[in-house]
Structure 1
Amino acid sequence: MKYKDLIKKMTLEEKASLMSGKDFWQTMDIERLGINNMFLADGPHGIRKQAEAADHLGLNASLPATCFPTAATVANSWNEDLGEIIGDYLGKEAVAQQVNVLLGPGINMKRNPLAGRNFEYFSEDPYLAGKMAAGMIRGIQSHGISACVKHFAVNNQEERRMSIDTIVDERTLREIYLTAFEIAIREGKTKTVMSAYNMLNGSYTNENIHLMQEILRDEWKYDGVVVTDWGGSNDRVAGLIAGNELEMPTTAGETNQEIIQAIKNGRIKAEVLDECVDRLLDLIFTTEQVYKLPKKEIDKEEHHRVAQKAAEESIVLLKNEGNILPLQKGKKVAIIGDFAKDARYQGAGSSIVNPTRLEHTLDCLEESGIVSIGFEPGFERYGKMSRKKVDKACVLAKDADVVLLYIGLDEATEAEGLDRQDMKIPENQLELLHALHKVNPNIVAVLSCGAAVEMPWIDKVRGLVHGYLAGQAGARAVLRVLSGDVNPSGKLAETYPLRYQDTPSFYNFPGKEVSVEYREGMYIGYRYYDTANVNVLFPFGYGLSYTTFEYSDIKVTNDGVTFKLTNSGHVAGMEAAQLYVGCKTGGIFRPNKELKGFKKVFLNAGETKTVTIPFDDKTFRYFNVKTNKWEIEEASYEIMIAASSVDIRLVDTIFIKGTGAPLPYDKSKLPSYYSGKANNISVEEFENLLGHKVPVANWDRLKPLGYNDTIAQCQYAKGVFARVAFHSITFAHWFLRNIGKRSTANLIMMSIYHMPFRGIARMTGGIINMPMLDGILMMVNGQFFKGLNHVLRERKKMVKVDKVKSTIAGAAKEM
């Protein structure tokens, strides 16, 4: 331990106090020992340090900060260096706002296109996500503060996120859902990890010994701090035993007492607490060093330009029929779509950033050189039909050479706390598109959303530019791509299926009650589509350019692959070359190909460069469930250099000697996994993969409701009070949606409907404690008056204790 002498000076109460927050965003301090508090702030793509009352849902405004493109956007750059640059600027701003721990990046896999926080996550591929995250972490931590990689792990749905049990087999867990974390932790060397809300195979992630000790601490040798997601602690003592040092936010000392009692009765050894305190002290002392240096002012203009550069490199050109783009000089352009007036540039929830400035398309048109003949909104932002707006847009479009149509998903559709209902663009926007096509077929659509959408309408546009959620400078960046000032080089970090029903997790998303079963196993995203030969709209890694690239002269050695890349077109540009590897034997089921490397290369017109992509420890490995280790299968491997997962330009093979591990599977019991057609797996075959029975997935309606049951389950409660409350909540949600207050309606789902009862205590900062919660549960379970009396009695006790504490604290100050 680094701080053994200091820890010896602490009382048991002081040690326990460090294990939970002082308030919503700060850790506890111990003034007499010179231990200061830390400030933690949201920050996947910009600092969200709240100046006034704190909340976790982005309700109250934060201090102004640069809003960079979201992770889903930056991943399309396929540029680790760009991730590091963004991290560098995030770190500078975090230091300027006196933040010790920046809560990001988020690197959960995009298992399903409807997951509500997909806009915060990089990719459906763990290698790409891990590499981009590692770069960002290095940038953030170069300033002496800590990044916080999240949400560890398998947090892939918002519905019932605080209590859902994720059922996943060990190999899929390791290869798909933990590899990005492994890269971020080992290569990025993050100082902090945030545990997820959900359960994993029967235990909450922050209490899961296999996840937190055997993998994170023992295998990956992680010696940093683990912090709960806000309100994510279930059993505080079990979490501490697993090595989850910090619980956030504050519980007003309630869980400190649980730790103290556990030490006294022997449930926790004193050394376990000391080790947790030691790791937390190291985080405090190392991240506060930067604040002893002279304070540096932030150049907001410079940071804005970096946000613009990041957006420019991340924009994806998806369609360019007849080379309608870049727009020819002098062409008359009609600007249509509400998002051109008010940019859609970030998601909603805890990651929402208050930008230092915000550019909108209409404000940037003049300097872009694009000749605009006018603007019409064309549609109501939140889905309401308006024939008048459509008609006015069509009148404008008739006189244009080209229509720039800004469409996408609104802020209420993509938000933390709830999953999307479908993959569709709102109907009123499609009505506008169809009407415009009748009067002017020269339509270039500019799409703004943070995740995949269906595009049955794609034949109605000649050009399609996907800006994703491009941050505060995204509008100008898109215009520079449209005008040709920037040659687009973004490539998709996720697959766009033709329709939602084609997705491998279609039958198993989301988990509605107790659990969610990952029956598709490792076959998520392109791993499924390419192996099962399912046609897609746009494949993983796809993106067009205003120039062309030729690949040649592949050479494969034991160290990696080398090839030549030539810009065969007429303008300078960047190409994201991708390395895929496929095993030629069938002993162990695998996807046809998996991403194992990539490199972004800039080339002038006519220029050729030799590109090398090295192999690493992840190139040929697989996780063997029999040996419980990473192994290598002895086989010939196909080495593919590609422009996308389906656009393979160069191929060679290499024989790799294996580790001699026994085959882990009985092929006859896993036919769907060996064929790759894993979108509709039977429970029996899934159990063969798991190696055990799946737990019951439905609520037991006859059981009394407990701490980890949700408000949604009150529909089955014995207490009339609880059932009335449930129906009132559902009516309020329905009513607010129907009168157009969708954001407010969403808040009900986010902060009430799917909240487990323990969250009432964990998220109220001590206003309601666990004994009071016991009384609430009595009321819910049919003992209304007994429960009410219990709540009032416990409340009275708590007020009395608080008064005593205040008196003692006041006396101590006077001394």
Structure 2
Amino acid sequence: MWTLPALPEIGLDSLVMSDGPIGVRGVHWSADDPSIALPSPTALAATWDPELAHQTGQLLAQEARRKGVHVLLAPTVNLQRSPRGGRHFEAYSEDPYLTGEIGSGYVRGVQSGGVGTTVKHFVANDAETDRFTVDNRVPERALRELYLAPFEAIVKQAKPWGIMTAYNAVNGLTMTENAALVNGILRDEWGFDGFNVSDWMAARDTVGAIEGGLDIAMPGPMTVYGPALAEAVRDGHVDESTVDEAVRRVLRLAARVGALDGAEPAVTAPPAPVDGEALAREIAHRSFVLVRNEQGILPLAGTRKVALIGAAARDARVLGGGSATVFPRRVVSPLDGLTAALGEGSVAYARGAEPSEELGVAKAGFELRAVCRDAEGRVLGEAPLADGAIQWFGGGFPDGVTYAELSRVEIKGTFTPRVDGAHRFGTRGLGTLRLTVDGRELFDGEQRMPVDGDPFEAFLGAPTERGTVELKAGAPIEVSLDVTPPKIEGMPIEAVALSLSHAEPRRDADEMIAEAVRIAREAEVAVVLVATTDRVESEGFDRRDLHLPGRQDDLVRAVAAANPRTVVVVNSGSPVELPWREDVAAVLLSWFPGQEGGAALADVLTGAQEPGGRLPTTWGALADAPVTEVTPDAEGRLTYSEGVFIGYRAWDKAGATPSYPFGHGLGYTDWTYESLQVTGEEATVRIRNTGARVGRETVQLYLAPPADGSVERPARALAAFGCVTADAGESVEVRIPLPRRAFEIWDESAAAWAYQKGTYTLEAGRSLADRRLSATIEA
């Protein structure tokens, strides 16, 4: 699933790959070997700091080497074309320049540690709906100026060792066979010399893939290569020299990562060790975006009585769902972090609202193990579980366990409830199942594949509730889910996926909100933490809407009415609608903040750290969003009819005002923009910290094109940016190079970049909507 076979006779070790991008899971989808869990890629992009992205990469290389991993399957640099994209938490931004800069820092950091990257998903894999089959019809100019641009920047600036081609087709040809884009643009035009690996199960045709520039078809061992490729060469359908080129690129990768005898690796002395927990905490507070702060309610200086409200305040949502999943050694929840910062007795907690009535994977209060047995009941192996989910795909089984011998899997252990009442239990997965809780058998039967259903939905979809058991808080009980999983014929990989599911006793929704209102009235400040769930933001599907799930909007309105000093923390990976945003004192976006998110949140709320983030994407109501279509037509085609107008470019063109504009973010100090000068290919911006504390500012430069109307262009686009720190009262200069590409467009008739002469306006400011200074440039 994750490895290439060794060839000892030529000195080639097995090459090991692992999912990222927020951590290094390794080859086992389990808690056996915990991983550092960093904030989501949208959070990293919100720092607007390529150097911090470089440090992130160095840490991940350190983690990869610790786990014996040679190649990290990251970063994701697809653009956030529509706010409905379900996997946008794993991508950086709606802007190609910001994406390219953050991605370049990340790639340089990982590879400085001697570990390869695979920049993905090449290209236009910008939504999840029908992602295996969709044919994205992208105009050539949009393809060049938007969707290819981050890949081009990273290839030229960071020289990645790998690229991953996507499931989708672009303009009629699937990406694993798209020779024009892979061999023509990526390799010949940009000079990419690394390897090309397919997304998992994306390669469909032997001849098409090898001729299209695909070097590695994953996962193995049953792929379109191997014997099928050898036969294609013998039959004369593929030149042996074409295979030689692919082999050479795989050997070059092996040499670079130190897996080929006789070849010196690209990095012989890795960087100094990085403190993973400290860096995770720094990235988090540097990424938090304060979008509203009326009357300076934040930071909470001197506050000693806080009401903390929200399901995710106690049960932290630190990462998005899907292949980005890792298993951290520890997670600091917002409740843990704020209690540690303010002291016991200073924080009153209420759940307030349930984001979902659906059962979740058994987690809080559970201590679980997986026990694997053969057909005679003999134990083959055991492994600890981070939660109630088992996801073993194409290997990754506990030591001593093989798919061929495996007959039964038992998830067993203890559960210590946090509250009294009728706890709900359930299952997810196929096969013969027996669920026992506290000596009670809740289910003993077979769960079959739906006749017309998606097999992956049976493995990974909604759980089935099997029954309730009355339990007492603090009293541990035994739980067991015994499963005989099916061996499904024709599956391309060996897979075992099942879950023990749980939910706390149902409570009346109005009573929960009333409880939250009660503690809010008694507090100096109310902090409400609202969140999405992994059924809202995850790999594999797009979002129907941008609403917060459950009655969280009602909760915020009720708490704000009870306490005007209400701060709302939004725990989501990408935009959600905030209909109450003008009714609360402050709104802080925390993204998916990683394992140290609760500690970082306490740092920011109390003022120990400044919220350093700026929006990498536009936030607004879905009804106002200019680009929303992610579903292909009846022929499987999705037309990018908006051309080069996505994100803030499209909002500008539509004349619509979003909730919060691209680049927006407040800190805990004030800034005056004093001067802007342009000399040659560099802009110099002088700013002054006019506040009372040290602060960090992200100076953003937007370029407005000549008003000749000869070519339709965005009203303005991000040209460059720079970050600077200054003490209270200090004046500092920021020197920012202006890239030539900011003055170019793709000329479709000439099939080339064209430098556009004329009078440009360069604007410096704090966001797209807060531009403070301007200068003209004669190009």
**TM-score, length-scaled by structure 1:** 0.74
- Name which of 636, 648, 654 aligns with 1:514: 636
Name the structure 2 match of 1:344.
317
Superposition pairs of residues 62-101 of structure 1, within 5 angstroms: 63-101=33-71
Residue 341 of structure 1 aligns with an amino acid whose one-letter code is R
- Name which of 338, 347, 371 aligns with 1:365: 338
Structure 1 residue 62 displacement after superposition: 6.2
Q: Over residues 348-369 of structure 1, what are the superposed CA-to-partner deviations in whole Å (9 max), with x where a residue is unaligned?
A: 1101010122101222224323
> Are residues 292 and 147 of structure 1, via their aligned partners in 2, closer, same or farther at CA, if it must alter by over 3 Å?
closer
Structure 1 residue 470 displacement after superposition: 0.9
1:378 aligns with 2:500: no
1:356 aligns with 2:333: no
Q: Over residues 674-731 of structure 1, what are the superposed CA-to-partner deviations in whole Å (9 max), with x where a residue is unaligned?
A: xxxxxxxxxxxxxxxxxxxxxxxxxxxxxxxxxxxxxxxxxxxxxxxxxxxxxxxxxx
Contact 2:96/2:149 (<8 A) preserved: yes
Name the structure 2 match of 1:544.
666
> Are residues 565 and 295 of structure 1, via their aligned partners in 2, closer, same or farther at CA, if it must alter by over 3 Å?
closer
1:174 aligns with 2:147: no
Name the structure 1 match of 2:601.
478
Residue 44 of structure 1 aligns with an amino acid whose one-letter code is P
Q: Distance in 1 between matches of 2:232 and 2:639?
A: 34
> Are residues 368 and 106 of structure 1, via their aligned partners in 2, closer, same or farther at CA, if it must alter by over 3 Å?
same
Name the structure 2 match of 1:745.
none
Superposition pairs of residues 411-450 of structure 1, within 5 angstroms: 411-450=534-573
Structure 1 residue 330 displacement after superposition: 3.5
Contact 2:673/2:773 (<8 A) preserved: yes
Name the structure 1 match of 2:373.
none
- Name which of 714, 729, 746 aligns with 1:591: 714
Superposition pairs of residues 316-715 of structure 1, within 5 angstroms: 316-369=289-342, 372-383=346-357, 386-497=509-620, 499-507=621-629, 509=631, 514-584=636-706, 585-656=708-779
Residue 152 of structure 2 aligns with an amino acid whose one-letter code is E
1:264 aligns with 2:241: no
Q: Distance in 1 between matches of 2:776 and 2:269?
A: 55
More helix by share: 1
Structure 1 residue 29 displacement after superposition: 2.1
Q: Distance in 1 between matches of 2:712 and 2:267?
A: 55
Q: Distance in 2 between matches of 1:555 and 1:464?
A: 34
2:120 counterpart SS class: strand
Deviates more, 1:554-563 or 1:434-443: 434-443
1:131 aligns with 2:105: no
Q: Over residues 564-606 of structure 1, what are the superposed CA-to-partner deviations in whole Å (9 max), with x where a residue is unaligned?
A: 0111111111111111111112111100111111111111111
Contact 2:74/2:119 (<8 A) preserved: yes
> Are residues 179 and 193 of structure 1, via their aligned partners in 2, closer, same or farther at CA, if it must alter by over 3 Å?
same
Q: Distance in 1 between matches of 2:338 and 2:532?
A: 23
Superposition pairs of residues 7-22 of structure 1, within 5 angstroms: none
Superposition pairs of residues 696-775 of structure 1, within 5 angstroms: none
Q: Distance in 2 between matches of 1:572 and 1:615?
A: 28
1:26 counterpart SS class: coil
Superposition pairs of residues 17-32 of structure 1, within 5 angstroms: 24-32=1-9
Contact 1:50/1:61 (<8 A) preserved: no
Name the structure 1 match of 2:118.
148
1:537 counterpart SS class: coil
Name the structure 2 match of 1:218.
188
> Are residues 511 and 39 of structure 1, via their aligned partners in 2, closer, same or farther at CA, if it must alter by over 3 Å?
farther
1:432 counterpart SS class: helix
> Are residues 344 and 221 of structure 1, via their aligned partners in 2, closer, same or farther at CA, if it must alter by over 3 Å?
same
Contact 1:508/1:518 (<8 A) preserved: no
Q: Distance in 2 between matches of 1:507 and 1:315?
A: 29
Q: Distance in 2 between matches of 1:102 and 1:310?
A: 20
Structure 1 residue 633 displacement after superposition: 1.5
Structure 1 residue 395 displacement after superposition: 1.6
Deviates more, 1:209-218 or 1:363-372: 363-372
Q: Distance in 1 between matches of 2:536 and 2:512?
A: 22
Q: Over residues 745-802 of structure 1, what are the superposed CA-to-partner deviations in whole Å (9 max), with x where a residue is unaligned?
A: xxxxxxxxxxxxxxxxxxxxxxxxxxxxxxxxxxxxxxxxxxxxxxxxxxxxxxxxxx
Structure 1 residue 435 displacement after superposition: 2.2
Structure 1 residue 30 displacement after superposition: 1.7
The structure whose RCO (Cα within 8 Å, separation 6+) is larger is 2
Q: Distance in 1 between matches of 2:631 and 2:610?
A: 38
Contact 1:437/1:460 (<8 A) preserved: yes
Structure 1 residue 311 displacement after superposition: 0.7
Q: Distance in 2 between matches of 1:50 and 1:335?
A: 38
Residue 40 of structure 1 aligns with an amino acid whose one-letter code is M
1:274 counterpart SS class: helix
Residue 558 of structure 1 aligns with an amino acid whose one-letter code is G
Contact 1:159/1:512 (<8 A) preserved: no
Residue 139 of structure 2 aligns with an amino acid whose one-letter code is D
Q: Over residues 14-37 of structure 1, what are the superposed CA-to-partner deviations in whole Å (9 max), with x where a residue is unaligned?
A: xxxxxxxxxx00012222222221
Structure 1 residue 503 displacement after superposition: 1.7
Q: Distance in 1 between matches of 2:686 and 2:96?
A: 26
- Name which of 273, 277, 280 aligns with 2:250: 280
Structure 1 residue 236 displacement after superposition: 2.3
Q: Over residues 136-173 of structure 1, what are the superposed CA-to-partner deviations in whole Å (9 max), with x where a residue is unaligned?
A: 00000001110111000000111110110000100000
> Are residues 572 and 113 of structure 1, via their aligned partners in 2, closer, same or farther at CA, if it must alter by over 3 Å?
same
Contact 2:85/2:630 (<8 A) preserved: no
Q: Distance in 1 between matches of 2:202 and 2:294?
A: 49
Q: Distance in 2 between matches of 1:312 and 1:441?
A: 25
Residue 625 of structure 2 aligns with an amino acid whose one-letter code is T
Q: Distance in 2 between matches of 1:149 and 1:61?
A: 26
In the alignment, structure 2 segments of 5+ residues that lack a partner are: 359-507
Structure 1 residue 50 displacement after superposition: 3.3
Q: Distance in 1 between matches of 2:134 and 2:629?
A: 17
**TM-score, length-scaled by structure 2:** 0.78
Name the structure 1 match of 2:362.
none
- Name which of 148, 157, 173 aligns with 2:127: 157
Residue 649 of structure 2 aligns with an amino acid whose one-letter code is R
> Are residues 444 and 279 of structure 1, via their aligned partners in 2, closer, same or farther at CA, if it must alter by over 3 Å?
same
Name the structure 2 match of 1:681.
none
Q: Distance in 1 between matches of 2:75 and 2:730?
A: 35
> Are residues 291 and 378 of structure 1, via their aligned partners in 2, closer, same or farther at CA, if it must alter by over 3 Å?
farther
Name the structure 1 match of 2:422.
none
Q: Distance in 1 between matches of 2:71 and 2:255?
A: 12
Q: Distance in 2 between matches of 1:191 and 1:177?
A: 20
- Name which of 298, 305, 326 aligns with 2:278: 305
Deviates more, 1:247-256 or 1:457-466: 247-256
> Are residues 295 and 547 of structure 1, via their aligned partners in 2, closer, same or farther at CA, if it must alter by over 3 Å?
closer
Residue 223 of structure 1 aligns with an amino acid whose one-letter code is D
Q: Distance in 1 between matches of 2:533 and 2:635?
A: 28
Contact 1:77/1:490 (<8 A) preserved: yes
Q: Over residues 288-317 of structure 1, what are the superposed CA-to-partner deviations in whole Å (9 max), with x where a residue is unaligned?
A: 2699999999979x2101110111111100
More strand by share: 2
Structure 1 residue 386 displacement after superposition: 1.9
Q: Over residues 507-558 of structure 1, what are the superposed CA-to-partner deviations in whole Å (9 max), with x where a residue is unaligned?
A: 5656576111111111000111123321111000000111111112211122
1:521 counterpart SS class: coil
> Are residues 254 and 78 of structure 1, via their aligned partners in 2, closer, same or farther at CA, if it must alter by over 3 Å?
closer
Q: Distance in 2 between matches of 1:589 and 1:293?
A: 46
Q: Distance in 2 between matches of 1:291 and 1:215?
A: 28
Q: Distance in 2 between matches of 1:408 and 1:236?
A: 44
Q: Distance in 1 between matches of 2:775 and 2:354?
A: 53
Contact 2:41/2:89 (<8 A) preserved: yes
Structure 1 residue 257 displacement after superposition: 2.4
Deviates more, 1:623-632 or 1:502-511: 502-511
> Are residues 376 and 202 of structure 1, via their aligned partners in 2, closer, same or farther at CA, if it must alter by over 3 Å?
same
